Amino acid sequence: MTARPGPGGGAAGPLAPPVTTDSGIPVAPVYTAQDVAGGPEALAARLGQPGEPPFTRGPYETMYRGQLWTMRQFAGYGSPEETNARFHFLLGRGQTALSVAFDLPTQLGYDSEHEMARAEVGRVGVAIDTADDMVDLFAGLPLDKVSVNFTINATAPVILATYLVAAERQGVRPDQLTGTLQNDILKEFLARKAYVFPPGPSMRLAADVVEFATGTLPRFNPISITGYHAREAGCDAVTELGLTMASAIAYCEELTGRGLAFDSFAPRLSFHFATTLDLFEEVAKLRAARRLWHRIATERFAAATPAAARLRFFSGNSGTTLTAQQPLNNVIRSTVQCLGAVLGGAQSIHVMGYDEAFEIPSEEAVTLSLRTQQIIALETGVTRTADPLAGSFFVEHLTDEMEARATDVLLRIEDSGGAIHAIEQGLPQRWITESAYQAELAVAEGRRPKVGVNIYADGGDEPAPDLALFQLDPGIADRQIARSRQRVSARDGAACADALSRLRGHADGGQNVMPALIECARAGATVGEMSGVFRQAFGEFREPSPW
Amino acid sequence: MSPARILLAKPGLDGHDRGLKVVAMALRDAGAEVIYLGLRVPVADIAAAAAAEDAAVVGISVLSGAHLPIAEQLLAAMHAAGVEAPLVVGGTIPPRDAGALRRLGVAGVFAVGTSLPDVVTGVLALASPEVAAR
């Protein structure tokens, strides 16, 4: 590594900004045309035009001139009523779509009254026990008009069923619904860890959802294939991209293996990436992602239509880049990350709250996150032209480099038997853990500067700013449990038991579980009961030792 | 001197295990013997393992906001199992809750923002024989 002056202007110090990207790609002091492989014509072929294959420059012809990205702050806590109030609050401040955070019991298929659930009800998201809760969650929010993202995975089919029942009660048809169900179980095993069932049945449930949605929910994305959580758990941008593509291949193989035509479902596949602080590397990653997916879709799955090879993505800003120290600095970090997502051509964006090292964001913090998006969209002019960094010697070089290195990661996964097998063996999990440790050591040893943490730390004697942090109403769990018990006692118990028994039959018999699940949700079955059917049919997964 | 035995686990339903695994690796590199029980471990199982393994320190990490009830339940379970080892808690702990955790009997609170060396030093200090003899 070349010696460079430290941030304080002194001689080469331990806190000099590194001359490699976060992924370890060396960066030269200056780039010229010679650094862009193959010359102008080869580059033009690698780029295409915005909205045209291979989509390097963006999925749509006019990009943000035609339509801004969707501003979608991830939100949810307490009971459905409280989260509904937060949704109205956000939409009232100019947010353009919703993104639901579910509490851990809901994510893991436990009712609020379950012994494992009590301490966690409503904490990291909203508690949903029945379809009635879903009705309350969207009170006053017309589901034929509001696009909704659901961060739900192991219990994604169950939650989709309750959502469809809520829409039905609003008089909204399935073909009118827009939004995204995360439904990416592989990354739960990989990084996020909210899995329930073993990998085999989990893949089957994820594919049941996509199969059901294909045709029935033509405007809805039934899966969002996600590298974000692997990144947040510790891997670098290159590995994030490679793992995302490996997962995408696994889902597509599962679906085509059922006899579905690739072009029937691929246009509704959605992706989800992290956007962190290494601005140019992130932009390069997002551009490379579109090109790489186009190559995989056409070469491997013989995509016949452009839409089946066109990658669209949601960008989540990175929580792990934020710090508890000097928390207002996080506003700046989030702004840069949001800008990176925009320059990378995101279809929807979430910006982290500056207070999330302590709590879920306060109203003030989430408003500032939304305002960050609005200011970038409306005041900076970065939306005026598509893919504004195209043709930059550096960015094109880095885009090529990201694509090549991510392809290497993908090949390593393929060599080990594909995403599912590699995850079962714990291979990518070990990469992520080791990389997380190295990243932490780099900060602890001062090799990676972190303002307010290992440099400009104010001597540690500054009092922490007095943030007005979010505080959960402690009565939430008791009220949610009481209401769910009341709803369970009011339902037709025999009809509900019949519906659950049909669901078990379909789970065992290999039919698509969605129609039976919707019947259960209509009959008032709880999330715990529906998930319990799958627990009995499929068993539960236990993670092997990480070492 | 035999290495300090540190028992680490993720109680509750929270799957955020990056921090705890990083701490486990750092403690190992500092010479400790680390027993990591993994995710979603019931408090009774943590207490039983602490007794069976004769752990010098028990460490949990909670990023879901459920640290207060979980710490209270775990301390009760450890008491019932006759475990006298100190309990340390890491994770997303708002400043207002650090004192509350200590009042419950938690010996160390390592909230988000604590440096890795400070976590290692803090845990190993609690594992030292002088502290254990108190």
pLDDT in tens, A245-257: 999 999 999 999 9
pLDDT at residue A6, as a whole number: 37
The answer to whether residue A366 scores a pLDDT higher than 50 is yes
pLDDT at residue A4, as a whole number: 38
Q: CB of A469 within 8 Å of any CB in chain B?
A: yes
Where are the strands (E) in A154-222, listed by range?
A: 179-181, 220-221
pLDDT in tens, A261-287: 999 999 999 999 999 999 999 999 999
Do residue A324 and residue B111 have CB atoms under 8 angstroms apart? yes
The answer to whether residue B101 scores a pLDDT higher than 70 is yes
What's the gap in Å between the CA of A188 and the closest CA on chain B? 9
pLDDT at residue A459, as a whole number: 65
- Residue A223 bridge partners (DSSP): A269
Q: Which residues of B touch A124 (CB under 8 A)?
A: 14, 64-65
The answer to whether residue A236 scores a pLDDT higher than 60 is yes
Q: Which residues of A touch B18 (CB under 8 A)?
A: 232-234, 320, 433, 436
Q: Which residues of B touch A443 (CB under 8 A)?
A: 116
Which residue in the set B25, B70, B111 is minimally distant from A437, CB to CB?
Answer: B25
- Start-to-end CA span in chain B (Å): 19
Kindly indicate the confidence band of residue A18, based on its pLDDT and cuts at 50, 70 and 90: confident
**Average pLDDT for chain B:** 95
Say if CB A43 and CB A396 are below 8 A apart.
yes
- How far from chain centre, in Å, is Cα A96? 18
Which helix (H) or strand (E) segment holds residue A465: the answer is: none
Separation in Å, CA B21 to CA A22, B9, B59:
21, 10, 11
The answer to whether residue B131 scores a pLDDT higher than 60 is no
Q: Mean of the pLDDT values across residues A482-486?
A: 98
Separation in Å, CA A234 to CA A216, A274, B62:
37, 12, 18
The answer to whether residue A8 scores a pLDDT higher than 90 is no
Do residue A118 and residue B113 have CB atoms under 8 angstroms apart? no
* Coarse DSSP helix, strand, coil percentages of chain B, rounded to the nearest 5 percent: 50, 20, 35
Q: Mean of the pLDDT values across residues A92-98?
A: 95
Asked if the interface predicted TM-score (ipTM) of this complex is over 0.90, the answer is: yes
What's the gap in Å between the CA of A181 and the closest CA on chain B? 20
Do residue B96 and residue A469 have CB atoms under 8 angstroms apart? yes
Q: Token pair for residue A486?
A: 């009341």
* Nearest residue of chain B to residue A323 (CA atoms): B113
Q: Mean of the pLDDT values across residues B103-124?
A: 97
Which pTM does this prediction carry? 0.95
Do residue A124 and residue B70 have CB atoms under 8 angstroms apart? no
Burial bucket for residue A263 (CB in 10 Å: 0-12, 13-18, 19+):
middle
CB atoms within 10 A of CB A34: 9
Kindly indicate the confidence band of residue A316, based on its pLDDT and cuts at 50, 70 and 90: very high
Q: Token pair for residue A125?
A: 């998201």
Q: What residue type is A357 in one-letter code?
A: A
Q: Token pair for residue A144?
A: 């034929």
Q: CB of B98 within 8 Å of any CB in chain A?
A: no
pLDDT at residue A9, as a whole number: 35
Which of B14, B21, B120 has the highest number of chain A CBs within 10 A, making it the mutation to test binding with A? B21
pLDDT in tens, A416-448: 999 999 999 999 999 999 999 999 999 999 999
Q: Token pair for residue A243?
A: 């793992």
Say if CB B78 and CB B85 are below 8 A apart.
yes
pLDDT at residue A250, as a whole number: 98
* Nearest residue of chain A to residue B41 (CA atoms): A116
Query: Strands B108-111 and A70-71: what pairing?
Result: unpaired
Three-state secondary-structure class, residue A283: helix
* Nearest residue of chain A to residue B65 (CA atoms): A123
What's the gap in Å between the CA of A28 and the closest CA on chain B? 32
The answer to whether residue A385 scores a pLDDT higher than 60 is yes
pLDDT at residue A2, as a whole number: 38
What's the gap in Å between the CA of B57 and the closest CA on chain A? 20
- Start-to-end CA span in chain A (Å): 31
The answer to whether residue A481 scores a pLDDT higher than 90 is yes
- pLDDT more than 90, % of chain A: 93
- pLDDT more than 70, % of chain A: 96
Q: How far apart are CA B90 and CA B111, in angstroms?
A: 5
Q: How far apart are CA B60 and CA B43, in angstroms?
A: 10
Which residue in the set B21, B66, B70 is minimally distant from A433, CB to CB?
Answer: B21
Say if CB A137 and CB A167 are below 8 A apart.
no
pLDDT in tens, B56-79: 999 999 999 999 999 999 999 999
Task: To the nearest 10°, report the CA torsion of A206, A212, A217, A223.
Answer: 10
CB atoms within 10 A of CB B134: 7
Query: Strands A98-101 and A313-317: what pairing?
Result: unpaired
Q: How far apart are CA A271 and CA A439, in angstroms?
A: 25
pLDDT at residue B130, as a whole number: 62
pLDDT at residue A10, as a whole number: 37
Which of A121, A231, A441 has the highest number of chain B CBs within 10 A, making it the mutation to test binding with B? A441
pLDDT at residue A464, as a whole number: 64
Nearest to A514 by CA among A151, A158, A134, A155: A158
- pLDDT more than 70, % of chain B: 95
Which residue in the set B12, B14, B113 is minimally distant from A324, CB to CB?
Answer: B113
**Average pLDDT for chain A:** 95
Do residue B17 and residue A105 have CB atoms under 8 angstroms apart? no
Nearest to A75 by CA among A2, A8, A148: A148
Which helix (H) or strand (E) segment holds residue A118: the answer is: none
Do residue A119 and residue B113 have CB atoms under 8 angstroms apart? no
pLDDT in tens, A20-43: 999 999 999 999 999 999 999 999
Q: How far apart are CA A17 and CA B130, in angstroms?
A: 42
pLDDT at residue A466, as a whole number: 76
Q: Mean of the pLDDT values across residues A353-379?
A: 96
Go through the domains of chain A in sequence order and give each one's CATH number. Answer: 33-66+181-460 (3.20.20.240)
Query: Strands A223-226 and A220-221: what pairing?
Result: unpaired
pLDDT at residue A467, as a whole number: 85
The answer to whether residue A3 scores a pLDDT higher than 50 is no
Say if CB A189 and CB A148 are below 8 A apart.
no
Q: How far apart are CA A49 and CA A176, in angstroms?
A: 31
* Nearest residue of chain B to residue A106 (CA atoms): B13
pLDDT at residue A12, as a whole number: 41
Kindly indicate the confidence band of residue A544, based on its pLDDT and cuts at 50, 70 and 90: confident
Say if CB A292 and CB A241 are below 8 A apart.
yes
Q: Which residues of A touch B16 (CB under 8 A)?
A: 193
Say if CB A353 and CB A366 are below 8 A apart.
yes
Q: CB of B64 within 8 Å of any CB in chain A?
A: yes
Phi, psi of A129 (to 5 degrees): -105, -35
Given CA atoms A211, A213, A218, A220 in this order, what sign does their dihedral have? negative
Q: Mean of the pLDDT values across residues A1-15?
A: 41
The half-sphere exposure of A488 on its side-chain side, counting CA atoms within 13 A, is: 17
Q: CB of B52 within 8 Å of any CB in chain A?
A: no
Give every CB contact of residue A388 below 8 A, 6+ residues apart in sequence: A343, A382
Q: CB of A378 within 8 Å of any CB in chain B?
A: no
Given CA atoms A483, A486, A490, A496 in this order, what sign does their dihedral have? positive
Q: CB of A324 within 8 Å of any CB in chain B?
A: yes
Q: CB of A234 within 8 Å of any CB in chain B?
A: yes
Say if CB A410 and CB A246 are below 8 A apart.
yes
pLDDT at residue A17, as a whole number: 73
Diameter of chain B measured on Cα atoms: 38
Q: How far apart are CA A39 and CA B68, in angstroms?
A: 61
Query: Strands B57-62 and B5-9: what pairing?
Result: parallel
pLDDT in tens, A59-77: 999 999 999 999 999 999 9
Query: Strands B5-9 and A348-350: what pairing?
Result: unpaired
pLDDT in tens, A97-140: 999 999 999 999 999 999 999 999 999 999 999 999 999 999 99
Go through the domains of chain B in sequence order and give each one's CATH number. Answer: 5-133 (3.40.50.280)
